[in-house]
Amino acid sequence: MIRSHNPATNLAFGPEITPSSHGEIASRCQAAQAAIGPWGTPLGLRVSLMESVAEHLQSVKQELVAFAQEETGLPEARLNGELDRTANQWRIFAKFVQEGSCFGATIDPALPDRTPLPRPDLRMIKIPLGPVAVFGASNFPFAFSVAGGDTASAVAAGCPVVIKANPAHPQLSQKVFNLLVEASRDVGLPESLFGLVQGGAREGLALVQDPAIQGVGFTGSQRAGLALWRACQNLPIPIPCFAEMGSLNPILVFPSALTTRKEALAEGYVSSLTLGVGQFCTNPGLLLLPEGEDAEAFLNLVAKRLGETAPAPMLSPAISHGCEDGWKALSQREGARVLVAPSGDGCSLSPGLAAFQSQAVVDSFEEVFGPIGIVVTLPKDSFTQEASRILRLHQGQLTGTIHGEEGEETELGLSLLMPFVGRIVWNGWPTGVEVTHAMQHGGPFPATTDARFTSVGPHAIDRWLRPISLQNLPASHWPPELGNGNELGIRRRVGGQME
């Protein structure tokens, strides 16, 4: 049984929710599959649906935010902003599919006189993979959950979506799901375009293993993400699984920055590390510093600020316990110097900070989801080699940050970080992920399962589309995207040239 839990009061509330049975999961997946034909939802209706979801979300904003506060303990202002961002994502996708470049519509007209053989008429368009399973994340109850970016991008692609509700906010999930169904009904699309599954790992596994499911979007822990990804690979017909599994988001601080602006660095680092009680996948978990007096002065500043930070409620007792366990393992590693020890009551937690000399780091650190900072100090005479070694130990990351001067330092930072990250941040902090075309929220394994895709921004749609070529198909059967007249006015490539 699943029950809502208020992180602020540490009390359960509301009804007991029964996890979905395998039969229910199967019937929702089948119904989702039956909701579309091979071309997916018609583009016009699809756009209306996306706009309608945005309106529905904002029309009951106060009620949703109030309820989300109870189930997640997140502050009202943050949730208000997150809901607007979530609605905005749907509008961005609606606009993006209307422009239509994402469908890669391409026409290579027949060349009947070509020698030695004529060329047939070839038209290509990207079509939806089919029903997509989406896993709601705990830390963004709107933006990465039931009506979050994975769902919006899959709907934008023309796919039905069956959503595994995050057990940390089961009632909010149901409320938001009801809005999706209402929006679908309002625009005249089948209600079964959306399905909801309540439950935990077992129900999630049953969902991705359903033969109707053709793709998976996941945001969460590495353990859960890898289990789903492996399950998808091991199916009789493997399906793509895009799992965004968070990362340590290394921050590479060069001597110049540490010497000239250690106070600003300390302030920025503490703000980023403790934002949302550290529950961001772009949390700056690993700070690499040149060792010495400046590093010690910086760490004193950081430790002072972190030590003054009061415990704050985490999203769920499971996350809070996970963070405490992670801290325990971290602080017991050989060579750990505990600068700030976190304290908590099993639900709220204050920040923690541990420092290591790089020579002591022979295994990778695991991400501790929460306000836990790991600092590694690097000998000045082998700064580059040691930074390279530490980065290589940890492999793929969502982001990598350079604090340093333009020129040599930045060049070195780029060459060290680029092979391992999806986003480079310069003299800033990685928390804060813009929903815009130039955003890459993804990165080499194990940050995600496929560095070629993003889960934030309009290009997130690319995960759910595949191209199909139509050879000599008569005009009466062309989809509107491929008609000679381009009645939808989308961006296309015709005869090799972009229109």
Contact at 8 Å (CB) between 121 and 471? Answer: yes
Q: CA 123 → CA 104, 157, 479, 483, 493, distances in Å? A: 10, 19, 10, 9, 10
Catalytic-role residue among 159, 241, 281, 323: 281
CB 396: neighbour CB atoms within 10 A? 19
Residue number, 98 or 178, with CB nearest to a second copy: 98
Q: CA 230 → CA 75, 234, 397, distances in Å? A: 36, 6, 20
Phi, psi of 236 (to 5 degrees): -55, -40
Residue number, 128 or 342, with CB nearest to a second copy: 128
Rounded CA gap, 72 and 74, in Å?
A: 5
Report, in Å, the least distance between residue 20 CB and a second copy. Answer: 26
Q: CA 174 → CA 4, 80, 295, distances in Å? A: 12, 19, 49
Question: Checking DSSP bridges between strand 194-197 and strand 286-290, what pairing results, if any?
Answer: unpaired
Report, in Å, the least distance between residue 238 CB and a second copy. Answer: 6
Residue number, 16 or 408, with CB nearest to a second copy: 408
Catalytic-role residue among 244, 324, 409, 481: 244
Give the CA count within 13 Å in the CB-facing half-sphere of 204: 25
Residue number, 27 or 395, with CB nearest to a second copy: 395
Report, in Å, the least distance between residue 308 CB and a second copy. Answer: 24
Evaluated on CA atoms 419, 425, 430, 433, the torsion sign reads negative
Structure tokens at 70: 């109870």
Rounded CA gap, 441 and 450, in Å?
A: 11
- Three-state SS string over 169-236 comes to CHHHHHHHHHHHHHHHHHHCCCHHHEEEECCCHHHHHHHHCCCCCCEEEEECCHHHHHHHHHHHHCCC
Report, in Å, the least distance between residue 419 CB and a second copy. Answer: 6
Contact at 8 Å (CB) between 298 and 265? Answer: yes
Report, in Å, the least distance between residue 193 CB and a second copy. Answer: 17
Q: Amino acid identity of 429?
A: W
Per DSSP, the three-state class of 165 is coil
Residue number, 341 or 362, with CB nearest to a second copy: 362
Rounded CA gap, 108 and 159, in Å?
A: 27
Report, in Å, the least distance between residue 90 CB and a second copy. Answer: 16
Rounded CA gap, 139 and 13, in Å?
A: 19
Residue number, 24 or 150, with CB nearest to a second copy: 150
Report, in Å, the least distance between residue 325 CB and a second copy. Answer: 24
Report, in Å, the least distance between residue 333 CB and a second copy. Answer: 21
Residue number, 45 or 424, with CB nearest to a second copy: 424
Q: Let me know if 498 is exposed, middle or buried by CB neighbors in 10 A (0-12, 13-18, 19+).
A: exposed
Rounded CA gap, 39 and 49, in Å?
A: 16
Residue number, 33 or 219, with CB nearest to a second copy: 33
Contact at 8 Å (CB) between 201 and 17? Answer: no
Residue number, 182 or 450, with CB nearest to a second copy: 450
Q: CA 302 → CA 31, 113, 271, 282, distances in Å? A: 54, 74, 10, 19
Is 244 one of the annotated active-site residues of the chain? yes
Report, in Å, the least distance between residue 408 CB and a second copy. Answer: 11
Place of tokens 């409320």: 175
Catalytic residue positions? 244, 281
